[in-house]
Amino acid sequence: MTARLDDPSQDRRVRVQGRPVDSYPEVGPEAERGAVHRITVVGEDVLRRRCQEVTAFGTPELSRLVDDMFATNRVARGAGLAANQIGVDLQVFVWDITDDWGVRHVGHIANPVLDEIPAEHRRLVDESEGCLSVPGPYRVVSRPDRAVVRGRDLDGAPLVIEGRGYFARCLQHETDHLHGRLYLDRLARRERQAALRDMAEAKDEVFARRAERAARLGK
């Protein structure tokens, strides 16, 4: 018998790369090692094109990229971050997120592909969504409440990650980034324009908070 996601008896250990672990630090080792980068903002070209596939696995460069993405995501207090959000044209994203049932998920994936969910098993949910590259505004976006993404880890080993609820939304949002899409693209034109106006008003304050946290953490 499988546990339901909302069952209190569910295994609530942290999932690292989709697998439960007995212990995990509040700040992961990648975030400790990594350097903080500037996060790209809507309007920059790197956010609007499909990123290149990763072809070289197990390299120091790829490991450093993942470390830096975790560090940058931590300072920005994000749920996930795609490589093009720090200006790198590669199909990689990371996540560090607690789902709707209190389970923390941490990991990275390269060359992610989302499974197509049959219509009869697809349930769309309207939830508020934001983006580190659209600093400030949140808007309601409709997405399936379940996602399965397949790709590779840093060493090139096959990886399958499944998420529900907020975690599913994160997996879909970050995969969108690597295809050159933002959550703004899922909004009606008027709503998109309003979000951009809100961003223009909020972004300086958001940038200042990120810089303050980076300095406080010695990053």
Q: Is 102 left (phi over 0), alpha (psi -120 to 50) or beta?
A: left
- Going by C-beta distance under 8 Å and a sequence separation of 6 or more, which residues neighbour residue 22? 13
Tell me the pLDDT tens digit for each residue of 100-142: 999 999 999 999 999 998 888 889 999 999 999 999 999 999 9
pTM of the model: 0.93
d(CA 147, CA 131) in angstroms, rounded, equals 19
Q: Does residue 159 register a pLDDT over 50?
A: yes
Res 53: pLDDT: 98
Does residue 4 surpass a pLDDT of 60? no
The angle at the Cα of 85, spanning 128 to 112, to the nearest 5 degrees, equals: 80
Task: Tell me the per-residue pLDDT of 89-98, one tens digit each, with 9 for 90 and over.
Answer: 999 999 999 9
Q: What integer is the mean pLDDT of 24-34? A: 96
Percentage above 70 pLDDT, the chain: 96
Cα separation, 73 vs 35, in Å, equals 10
Which entry of 174, 201, 205, 212 is annotated as an active-site residue? 174
Distance CA 127, CA 149 (A): 20
Dihedral sign, Cα of residue 117, residue 122, residue 124, residue 127: negative
Residue 218 gets the label, from left (phi > 0), alpha (psi -120 to 50) or beta, of left
174 in catalytic set:
yes
Assigned token pair, 6: 């909302």
Q: Is 52 helix (H, G, I), strand (E, B) or coil?
A: strand
